[in-house]
Amino acid sequence: MSENDRIAALEAQISALANRLIRVEDEQAVRKLQHLYGYLIDKCLYREVVDLFTEDCEVHFFGGVYKGRVGAARLYIERFQKNFTHGLNGPVDGFLLDHPQLQDIVDVQDDGVTALARFRSMMQAGRHRDYGGPRQWWEGGIYENTYKKINGVWRIHVLNYRPQWHADFETGWAHTRPNYVPFITTLYPDDPAGPDALQDEVWLWPTHKLVPFHNLHPVTGKPIVAERAKADAERGA
């Protein structure tokens, strides 16, 4: 191999390594972004949550789709902040809303400015008996989100939260009552804190379905689909 060929090979190797490093750094940035989202929700810092989103974002939550940062503000500030913290931005005594982000799968796309990720949350929430309670409950949910890199900074573009189950702390998930948390059914402006659109399919435990994976199976390269979903698709359900 000539000297020029060796230099060209080294340059190609350095370029490939640099691209891999950028990909790893982007994955970490998206992961940190979503984990920060969880911490901000923990402490009811709803205005800071809204700042995490793109201007043309969507937030899918409990049957509703909130569009744009104006819509996101309607959900986090007009609905959550007013109901949970009496209009205050930050934690208040007697209210618990731990919102850990777990089991993350992050995939940066080939364009380098889009990422898809799946996270799980297992929330512990409630009010102390001296602050309008007592009430304490569990909630499990899946995020399948889209992120955009804008001017070098990753932001949440589509936050798609799919609640899975709820349970009173005392009785557990085997005794979850129907409509434990009602889905949103009234649009904005009829509901001043309502969404811009409604989601087509919503369900809660004990109904149990697969939230679609954004990623293929890493070994087989095939979509990850449950038998029930295959049967539904075959009969056009």
- pLDDT at res. 233: 57
Q: Report whether pLDDT(79) > 70.
A: yes
Enumerate residues 6+ apart whose C-beta is below 8 A from 214. 107, 116, 117, 118, 144
Q: Report whether pLDDT(231) > 60.
A: no
The mean pLDDT of 102-115, rounded to a whole number, is 97
The mean pLDDT of 151-169, rounded to a whole number, is 97
Q: Report whether pLDDT(90) > 80.
A: yes
Enumerate residues 6+ apart whose C-beta is below 8 A from 138. 122, 123, 124, 125, 165, 166, 167, 168, 169, 173
pLDDT tens-digit profile of 162-204?
Answer: 999 999 999 999 999 988 999 999 999 999 999 999 998 899 9
- pLDDT at res. 13: 86
Confidence of residue 17 (pLDDT cuts 50, 70, 90): confident
Q: Report whether pLDDT(237) > 60.
A: no
Average pLDDT value over all residues in the chain: 93
CATH numbers and ranges of domains, the chain: 3-206 (3.10.450.50)
Instruction: Note the pTM of the prediction, 2 decimals.
Output: 0.92
